[in-house]
Structure 1
Amino acid sequence: DKKGRVIYLEGSYNTIYAYCIDENGKYNVESIQFSVSEYSGTCGDDVLIAYPEQMHINASYQRREISTEIIKYAKEIYDKVKFAQDSGCGGNTDEIHYSGEGLEFKNFCEMTGITEDFFDYEEG
């Protein structure tokens, strides 16, 4: 990370974990859980798209580009990574609502090309 700490990434059950190992052992510093959907591609192939769903970040590791590296790692595992559109006010509904920081991260990933904003796929 930006402070020179070595961060390891590991995927398990649609969640990617970032962790450190030091003299005190292994500890999680961040994780992103993904909702994964299968779509039919334009050539009839199956495409797995991962949507970041929940992010858990240790406060002392925020703004260290770890989330960005997790999203890049997800692109190695899944065919595509895409953030869902902000569609509501949140609460106890199925609507998607990002925090200010979450929306900023989503927009950063889309503007820099880390994630894509639009797909021409149909659910399969």
Structure 2
Amino acid sequence: MTISPELAEELRRMALIKADQRRQKAIWQELRELRAKLRPIDRAWSDTLLALKRYEWDYKYVVPKLREREAHLLDEMHPFLQQIDALEKEARRLDRKIRKAHQASERTSAGLTNRAHPRQQAVELV
């Protein structure tokens, strides 16, 4: 039994179509698997991009405003810091002066207790 050339051609085309359909099904399956594997990476990339955009916005707009605010606050603090430094310096100077005065008075009072009054010396000699 021989098959007519038209029928043979039709069967060959059908076989090619079936092979193409199987290949297409395998490709669709592979695409689904690849997309499933890609999803977490894509999500992480998206989150990273969003964070980067947020950082760029913060840097471009927020950081300069914060630096300006910092400079303004430092300008406001400067007179107080100068006053504090001056008062601390004065307090240290007074502390040294007081300690020196105490030391001098201790030396003089120690000298007086070691030396007897002249009348007491006369009484002791008798």
Give TM-score scaled by structure 1 length.
0.15
Give TM-score scaled by structure 2 length.
0.15
Structure having the larger proportion of residues in helix: 2
Structure having the larger proportion of residues in strand: 1
Between 1 and 2, higher relative CO (CA 8 Å, sep ≥ 6) is seen in 1
Q: Which has the larger radius of gyration?
A: 2
